[in-house]
Amino acid sequence: MRNTVRFDSYEVDLPAGQLYKHGTKISLRDKSFQALAALLEHPGEVVTREDLCRQLWREEVFVDFDNNLNTAIARLREALGDSADHPRFIETLPKRGYRFLASVFELPRTPEKRTVDRARLVVLPFLNLSGDPAQEYFSDAITDEIITGVASVAPEQLAVIARTTAMHYKGSQKDVSRIGRELGVDYVVEGGVHRIDDQVGINIQLIRVSDQTHVFARKYEAQPHDVFSMQSRIAEAIASHLDIPGLAVLVRIGEEVCRPAQVTPQEKQIPRLSRRVDLEVYDATLKGKATIEYATREGQVHQAIELFQEAIDRDPTYAPAWAGLGEALWYLAATGFEFVAPTDVRDKAVAAAEKALELDETLPDAHKARAVIAIDAEWDLVKAQHHFDTVLQLQPSHATAHNLYGQILAAPLLRFDEAHQHFDRARELDPLSPWNDANLLGWWIHQGRPERTLEEGERAGQRNPTLWIIRCLMGFAHLLLEHASQAVPQFETALGLLQPDRPPAVLAPLGLAYALADRPAEALRILAELERRSEKRYVSPFHLAVVHSGLGRTDEAFQLLDRALDQRTPYLICCTPNDGNSVALRHDPRWKLFSDRLRRLVRLPPSTPDPYS
């Protein structure tokens, strides 16, 4: 017996005997629910009247089975808005029984912790030993490169904690044993970076947590243009000293091959970047990545673009700079912080990401950039899936790619089991990332279970008090549950966390919440602010439509949504019935026309549930 299933816009919690539509519980009598459960067990097949009667009235003898079954099915059809003459869900086969017509998809009940038999390692943030605070980004970048190098060894046997979690320990005075307990790791790597003029030095040590033994320690020095080769040698040396049964690593240092004592068919060779790169190109690219990673202020994405362009101007063949440029260009339109029209940057973003792939088709971040752009800019989810799959083939330990795969591809497509598998892997690799909580809250919203978002949300907010998206997700959950007055403070808190900026992506749902909470004056003030901005700078018609919908101006709202469709506004790709922005419009008959047009513009992977119905 399955636990929870979805069909069309309905979700059925079979053990609890509850039916939901868009997260709202629908009252259904016991016998009608039992009839629904029996039909869902055999979608597309005939379930006879005799079988239904036996299941619904097992112990009862003095029952008018035919009339009672007719009544139970009639009530079920009424709850589903179905018709016997023109059935969408339940087809009657006269004198035989009934057949359930819609596709049925099984959902996991909750993300469960997976037990994975892997050794675990964390590379702690390398100390900046240069005495120059401006070099802090460089030591962080070396940390990131070492993490990537070691993680590529054997992802099925070695889990390397991702950068986001490792950076929580930057400047920490905690000892190795405590860090080991907190992260559940077997090994800790510590180090320091000394960079002065044309010389780079790195001190490295590998510590086994169980007995705090220093397994390996060495100092490396190189000229700046050899920094990549040095990073590869460090990753190789670390890997070769790990005591992991069944794992052997071919370690290449120059032309010499060092082969560990145990060699098995599972042996792997760490990829080595052979080309030399101008350190200033490398610097500019690293600074661009650091700038865009947490860009939540107007102007930050533009700064990142300038840095990536600086790198490209110095070396037009450097693929990581092109990948960063492509993603940054699209973020101008996608984040809502920069007031740039999608049509102004879409082609440039695609071209930059494609250039990165042309230069290096083995670069995981190039495929990641291409996947993100394919979803938000081109609405091509088939292409996005291909590139996400390629990222994870090239680098299975890419925590960001796992998170994005679940967040912007699998969950919106109602592939919830697949989404939570990616979230579980991301949590294993990056346990302290705030996006773990945000993704789980969004996971429940996509399922039409906003009450679960609220159950988890307060704890998530306490763990991540400065992450504005958590407050927005809780606000959307309240809107979906028709608790507009409770949604208001959530959006207000999110906006406060982003001050002095007032991005439309938060202003619009706040205006919607004000309107639905019978505070029209405040909603009108937000609408006026957005309209004033749109006279001088780009504001998506989608955001204007959201506020108009809350004020009951549905004609204006649908006209604006049509304009947003013409521009392929990125927010629309997730404009499903479970999206909180649409709560005031989804029951309007025109919503289906809008959804049908949206569906025709989105390229969905085959055998995927329709997220827009």
Asked if 567 and 578 touch (Cβ cutoff 8 Å), the reply is: no
Let me know if residue 560 belongs to a domain: no
Contacts of 409 (CB under 8 A, 6+ apart): 371, 375, 381, 384, 385, 388
Asked if 21 and 429 touch (Cβ cutoff 8 Å), the reply is: no
Asked if 298 and 501 touch (Cβ cutoff 8 Å), the reply is: yes
Q: Write out the residue range of the structural domain in which residue 206 sits.
A: 119-269
| Residues 384 and 299 both lie in one domain | yes
pLDDT digits (tens, 9 = 90+) for 140-161: 888 888 888 888 777 777 889 9
Asked if 472 and 509 touch (Cβ cutoff 8 Å), the reply is: yes
β-sheet bridge partners, residue 10: 7, 21
| Residues 42 and 85 both lie in one domain | yes
DSSP-derived 3-state class of residue 225? helix
| Residues 229 and 283 both lie in one domain | no
Nearest to 223 by CA among 275, 279, 273: 279
CB atoms within 10 A of CB 16: 9
| pLDDT bracket for residue 247 (50, 70, 90) | low
CATH of residue 289's domain is 1.25.40.10
Distance between alpha carbon 292 and the CA centroid of its chain, in Å? 17
pLDDT of residue 523: 97
pLDDT digits (tens, 9 = 90+) for 29-87: 888 999 999 999 888 889 998 888 888 887 655 457 778 889 999 999 988 888 888 88
Burial of 118 (0-12, 13-18, 19+ CB in 10 A): middle
pLDDT of residue 340 exceeding 50: yes
pLDDT digits (tens, 9 = 90+) for 154-204: 777 788 998 888 888 888 888 888 888 888 889 999 999 988 777 888 999
**What SS3 string covers 136-183?**
HHHHHHHHHHHHHHHHCCCCCCEEECCHHHHHHHCCCCCCHHHHHHHH
**Spatial separation of the C-alpha atoms in residues 427 and 402, rounded to whole Å:** 9
Asked which of 364, 396, 428 is the last residue of a domain, the reply is: 396
Asked if 308 and 321 touch (Cβ cutoff 8 Å), the reply is: yes
| pLDDT bracket for residue 519 (50, 70, 90) | very high
| pLDDT bracket for residue 122 (50, 70, 90) | very high
Strand pairing category for 24-26 and 18-21: antiparallel
Burial of 53 (0-12, 13-18, 19+ CB in 10 A): middle
**Spatial separation of the C-alpha atoms in residues 471 and 467, rounded to whole Å:** 8
pLDDT digits (tens, 9 = 90+) for 1-12: 456 787 766 778
| Residues 314 and 253 both lie in one domain | no
pLDDT of residue 522 exceeding 80: yes
**Spatial separation of the C-alpha atoms in residues 145 and 163, rounded to whole Å:** 10
Q: Which residue has the higher pLDDT, 258 or 474?
A: 474
CB atoms within 10 A of CB 579: 20
Asked if 303 and 341 touch (Cβ cutoff 8 Å), the reply is: no
Percent of the chain with pLDDT over 90: 41
What does the block give as tokens for 289?
């990545």
Q: Give the chain's mean pLDDT.
A: 84
What does the block give as tokens for 442?
């969004």
Q: Which residue has the higher pLDDT, 109 or 104?
A: 104
Let me know if residue 572 belongs to a domain: no
Q: Cα–Cα–Cα angle for 391, 392, 394, nearest 5°? A: 65
CATH of residue 66's domain is 1.10.10.10
Let me know if residue 518 belongs to a domain: no
pLDDT of residue 311 exceeding 50: yes
| Residues 302 and 234 both lie in one domain | no
Contacts of 211 (CB under 8 A, 6+ apart): none
Lowest mean pLDDT: which of 11-15, 190-194, 277-281, 550-554?
A: 277-281
| Residues 249 and 300 both lie in one domain | no
| Residues 177 and 286 both lie in one domain | no
Let me know if residue 200 belongs to a domain: yes
| Residues 345 and 240 both lie in one domain | no
φ, ψ of residue 19 to 5 degrees: the values are -115, 135
**Spatial separation of the C-alpha atoms in residues 550 and 102, rounded to whole Å:** 32
Positive or negative, the Cα torsion across 335, 340, 343, 344?
negative
Contacts of 67 (CB under 8 A, 6+ apart): none
pLDDT of residue 257 exceeding 50: no
Q: How many domains does the chain have?
A: 3
